[in-house]
Every structure is written in structure tokens, then in C-alpha cells.
Amino acid sequence: MAELHIIGMHCDACVSTIERALYQVEGVSKVVVNLNQNRAVIDGNATPKDLAKAIHDAGYEATLIEGNSENDNDAEKRSEGNSTKLFPLYLIFFYITVSTLLINRSNINLTDVMFDFMGLFYIVFSFFKFLDYRNFPKTFKIYDPIAQIIPVYGWLYPFIESLLGLAFLMRTELYLSLLITLVILGATTFGVVRSLINKKSIQCACLGTALNLPMTTATIVENSIMLLMASWMLITF
């Protein structure tokens, strides 16, 4: 049995299209598609790769939802694997933090430190999204609620991050930039939390798709730091 999360399914006609596509895959014995949960449960011996391809060919996207029946050994190995894959994220946060402190070394001011950190955060993270710009929107759309409603948002997101980074570093349009930060990162964080609660095994697009980062609580921590800074600055600035 395989369980897939489906992107782009909006009506009963979509359900029928996906069911027909899946039943054409060799080895499929039963298909149950849930429109409200955007999920498909498939019985049989077809591979997840073949199932995902059939859905893709039908005009939709799908990701495998991992089962919960893993033993302690498997969980430990997956945890170790995630830590290794997340090393680039930790390293980037370290460099952003050190760079922020070096920029403000002559006069440590909390306001300036926060604005510089947020500016560097956006510039660096947008850079990695541009490395594989063509594939970023598809991955981002899997969990970001705004991108799911407005597809073009995924294509615009790296540019939005770049502009926000420049605004914070140049100290221009700060109030508007802080509000936008709350909206876009708030929406992304909601999508990440929802994905983790549903135990979806998907790729995190925070550093684009060039680096294959797993979706973990580290993504929530990363966004929460920015959200807390933006909230604090809106209250005190």
C-alpha cells in the first residue's frame, strides 16, 4: 500500500482523473482518493515512482507520505541522516550570525543587529533558491499555502526575499518589510507545521532545491527566529 499527497486537486473531476490515471498503472488493485485531505491511498504492488509519474502525467504533482511503522533503529538512522543533510543549514546560520556581529562590531546595537541579520538571511537564502530556480516553485508549492492558491507566488518568492534583504540592509521601507515578513514566513511556517503533523516526507525548499534538505523542526526554528525578530521590531521600532 502506498499513500500519496497530491497537489493541484480541486474538484470531483480532478479526483476522477487521478483515479483513472492510477488504475492504468500496472500492479494497482485499488485506489481511494480523498479530495478534502489531498491524499490518495493505493493498494497493490506498484512502485511509488510509477504512481507519482502517472499523477504527474495527468497534470498533478504527488509526494509519498511515509508510513508510521518504523522501528527504533530506522528512526535513529533517519534522525542521523537528517542531521547530516541539515549541516548546510546550520553552517549558513553560523556564517550569517558571525557576519552580522562583525558588521556591528564597533557599535553593538540590538536594532541594527536584527536588521542586518534579517537582511543577510534573506539575501543568502534567496541566492540558494536562484541556483535551481526552475524547480523551486514546484517544491515550494507542496507545503506553502499561498503558493498552493497563487502558483505564480512560488516564482516570485526568491525575488521578494532579495528585495526584503536589500530593504533591511539599506534601512528602507522597514515597516512594510517587517509586515511582509510576518505574512510570508507566517504562511510558510503554517505549511511546514501542517506537513510535519501529517508526517509527510518532503523536501524543504528553504535553501532552494539544489541542496536536498529534509523538512524537519529545524525549518520551524529558522522561520520562528525571523518571525520573532520581525514581531519585536514592529513593537519597538
- pTM of the prediction? 0.64
Instruction: Output the pLDDT for position 181.
Output: 96
Mean pLDDT of all residues in the chain? 83
Nearby residues of 109 by Cβ (< 8 Å), 6 or more positions away: none
- Kindly state the helix (H) or strand (E) to which residue 193 belongs, with its residue range: helix 174-197
* Residue 183 pLDDT > 70: yes
As a whole-number percent, the residues of the chain with pLDDT over 70 amount to 83
Whole-number Å distance between alpha carbons of 18 and 98: 49
> Among the ranges 69-78, 90-99, 166-175, which has the highest mean pLDDT value?
166-175
The C-alpha cell 520581525 sits at: 230
Strand ranges (E), the chain: 2-7, 28-34, 39-44, 61-64, 203-204, 213-214
Give the domains, in start order, of the chain with CATH numbers.
2-64 (3.30.70.100), 75-236 (no CATH)
pLDDT of 66 above 80: no
